Amino acid sequence: MRIVSIGGGPAGLYFSLLMKKSDPAHDITVVERNRPDDTFGFGVVFSDATLEHVAEADRTSHAEITSHFAHWDDIDIHYRGQVLTSAGHGFAGMSRQLLLDILQKRCAELGVRLEFQREVGDPGAYADADLVLGADGVNSIVRSRYAEHFRPRIDWRANKFVWLGTTFPYPAFTFLFKESVHGLWRVHAYRYDQSMSTFILETTEATWRRAGLDRADEDQTLAFCEQLFAEELQGHRLLKNRSLWRSFPTVRNGSWRHGNVVLVGDAAHTAHFSIGSGTKLAMEDAIALARALQSHGEVEKALAAYEEDRRPEVERLQRAAQVSLEWFEEAERYHARLEPIQFAMSLLTRSLRVTHENLKTRDPRFVAAVDRWYVSRAEQQAQIAVSAPSPPPPMFTPFRLREMLLSNRIVVSPMCQYSAQDGTPGDWHLVNLGSRAVGGAALVVAEMTDVSREGRITPGCTGMYKPEHVVAWKRIVDFVHAASPARIALQLAHAGRKGSTRVLWEGMDEPLPAGNWPLMSASALPYHPYSQVPKAMDREDMMRVRDQFVAAARMAQQAGLDMLELHVAHGYLLASFISPLTNIRTDEYGGSADNRARYPLEVFDAVRTVWPAGRPMSVKISATDWAEGGLELDDAIDFARKLRQHGCDIVTVSTGQTVPDQKPQYGRLYQTPFSDRIRGEAEIATMTVGGIASYDDVNSILAAGRADLCVLARGHLYDPYWTRHAAYEQGFDLPWPDQYVSVKGFTPRLD
Ligand SMILES: Cc1cc2nc3c(=O)[nH]c(=O)nc-3n(C[C@H](O)[C@H](O)[C@H](O)COP(=O)(O)OP(=O)(O)OC[C@H]3O[C@@H](n4cnc5c(N)ncnc54)[C@H](O)[C@@H]3O)c2cc1C
Ligand SMILES: Cc1cc2nc3c(=O)[nH]c(=O)nc-3n(C[C@H](O)[C@H](O)[C@H](O)COP(=O)(O)O)c2cc1C
């Protein structure tokens, strides 16, 4: 097979040597524009896991590479005069030049032809080869030459960075945050041999311009950085090597192959340097591609298999890299606000790959310090002492909202059961909510409960609009209070334009085939084009519905509920006022964000006035509509701020469901970043919900300050005893009800 690699970086060299090793008859040429000893940049990092793949693929180069490693286990975070160390991370670094030397030498030994100082202008010149490798890095000409086939998308990130070296031998992977008169600077530094470290400096474009670095040449950059970090460098120098200020491009391609041409490494995809994975990805691509060619005789099939194999892993890493780069872009948001240990947790767990549990395995002392700090904060907040021999995990710390004291941080999310008779909850609701209260969650939020018959989503929705409802709810509330320490809240709502529809299992948001009732909403816009057109509410409608909310709140008080949540999310009536996609009013309740917030706030104020002062109120919001022209996070932050000013105690941060053509990005903890921002910027307590399934994620979210309470919906449908199971797995003693005390000493076998 005749193979040409355009580019002799880690991807091109490593692939070439693996192929030549597998079959010396292959005719392989690497065409590289630089000289063999020209390299830009300083060190590269590998994790222990990557090295295992490299060892399996070629023991010879693995042995050479590892013999030159600088190893470290610790991550040091320099923050406001403190250094926080988290151990057990298992990384190794080496000089990029040395890595290329080793790979070049191994290629030459095996008989790969290396053509240096040869710049490829048109990859078409190699069209007659059996396989052409686009291994020409981030600015790939192979990718641009066949752009219509590869369909590249390049996302240029906002921050500026420069790649420098230093003679300061950093003992750990070091993140350094430093404020100057110009702004906040972030350094990512790690040692790559006995005496040298990579030193990447990153900042926002505004800070960079304020410091005059937009006009600085390499030497001026170096002088500026040496002065800024004189104290940290302790007399050591910084070094340049084509150290130009750049913006990071996240490269993605619709396809990585076209005919006999294939992209590998940075040409195919990049992952931000803050997760140090560019070289790893390049070498793993090389391994996967070589394997695919060895197992499939035909190039076309092999390239398809390579892409199918690698793409999910690469995309997973790119998602982690995206969260990580955003964290660094937004570091100003966390920097002044979080205390050192929480800042460290926020940094370490930013891309969800490192978690509370995972850190505990690596460094139990660090996590014990986090837990100690967290419980002491919780004690202050809840005004209660926690008596436990050792600090409990964050999820088992108390939390107070007005006079309501929660014994832990787990909440059962409101979930419609579509099983009520004219709004009256029955035995199903008693068992459903009662068993979840016994299951250990500190707060159970009963489903969306409508303030009028016409305000229901479906004929099976619960209500709080007639005296029977008070009796039926009181039965449930009394059971929860008698059988568990859990508190119980009611979510009050009006379905607005999403009403008069079928129960979930007959078609969510689908209009009833018969027996419909009239709808109203902020504007006369139907949900689906074929849904009923709602009436745009006039002032009289608004006052009537507001009074229905007030009446329902009074009834909720009679029923003994501990908390009320107003549903201002998911496109229902109150939310329809907030979103510009559903509110096109021209009166003082439409137009500006203030106007759109006016009616929901009027309802909130009216309810707050009659709801007992000692009992809290939350509001559930959609922090984005996931749709063009709709609400975005900044709008939600602004609304959350208004809610705080009106006396709202806590916001439940959900997203979407405003319009049917939304484009949500679901996944693990997919709504938690919204909670993080709202909590920090609107300075209000938050409940995060969405894709939470493990106690580990709960502990990580809480310890990193991304929310105050964690809410599980489907997790609780699946397992009403979710909190009990989480307690058992963490060795935490959660008292059982008297009826169940025999469980003590019973060992469940879950595997
Ligand atoms: C600031 C910064 C820090 C980084 N830190 C790390 C880190 O800590 N760890 C890590 O693993 N990765 C890191 N990386 C990423 C890493 O450098 C790349 O991801 C990795 O080198 C990709 O390998 P590659 O072979 O795909 O591309 P490259 O290493 O870029 O190699 C491409 C080669 O193609 C050659 N070439 C390009 N065009 C032509 C042409 N027309 N003709 C002939 N030759 C051509 C280039 O000269 C180059 O040698 C960092 C990157 C940056 C920017
Ligand atoms: C069956 C079901 C019914 C739901 N009903 C409501 C509801 O009444 N009120 C509400 O705010 N959210 C409702 N939701 C949304 C959930 O409360 C939650 O926000 C969402 O499911 C994401 O959380 P999860 O990933 O833990 O399931 C419902 C979800 C499900 C699965």
Q: How far is the CA of 416 from the centre of ligand 2 (A)?
A: 8
pLDDT of residue 44: 87
- Ligand 1 within 6 A of 268 CB? no
Q: How far is the CA of 8 from the centre of ligand 1 (A)?
A: 9
pLDDT of residue 448: 98
Q: How far is the CA of 38 from the centre of ligand 2 (A)?
A: 57
Q: Which two tokens stand for residue 419?
A: 């099983």
Q: How far is the CA of 277 from the centre of ligand 1 (A)?
A: 11
Beta strand extents in 589-649 (DSSP E only):
617-622
Of ligand 1's atoms, which has the minimum distance to the CA of residue 267?
26
Cross-strand pairs, 199? 164, 189
Sole residue written with tokens 């070091």? 174
Angle ∠(417,419,421) on CA atoms, nearest 5: 140
Which residue has the CA at smallest separation from atom 18 of ligand 1? Answer: 278
Residues 6+ apart with CB under 8 A from 299: 130, 131, 260, 293
- Ligand 1 within 6 A of 123 CB? no
Of ligand 2's atoms, which has the minimum distance to the CA of residue 413?
17
Mutational pocket test of ligand 2: of 412, 415, 563, the residue with most ligand atoms within 8 Å of the beta carbon: 415
The string of DSSP codes covering 4-32 is EEE--SHHHHHHHHHHHHH-TT-EEEEE-
Return d(Cα 480, Cα 720) in angstroms, integer: 14
- Ligand 1 within 6 A of 200 CB? yes
pLDDT of residue 512: 93
pLDDT of residue 663: 92
- Give the DSSP H/E element, type plus range, for residue 379: helix 364-382
**Do 489 and 564 touch, CB atoms closer than 8 A?**
yes
| Ligand 2 environment, Cβ below 6 A | 413-416, 447-448, 491, 504, 567, 569, 620, 654, 689-692, 712-715
Q: Choose, from 146, 572, 589, 695, the residue flagged as catalytic.
A: 572
Residues of the chain scoring pLDDT < 70: 39-40, 751
The string of DSSP codes covering 411-460 is EEPP------BTTB--HHHHHHHHHHHHTT-SEEEEEEEESSGGG-SSTT
Q: How far is the CA of 138 from the centre of ligand 1 (A)?
A: 7
> DSSP state, 193?
S
Residue 740 annotated to the active site = no
Of ligand 1's atoms, which has the minimum distance to the CA of residue 34?
47
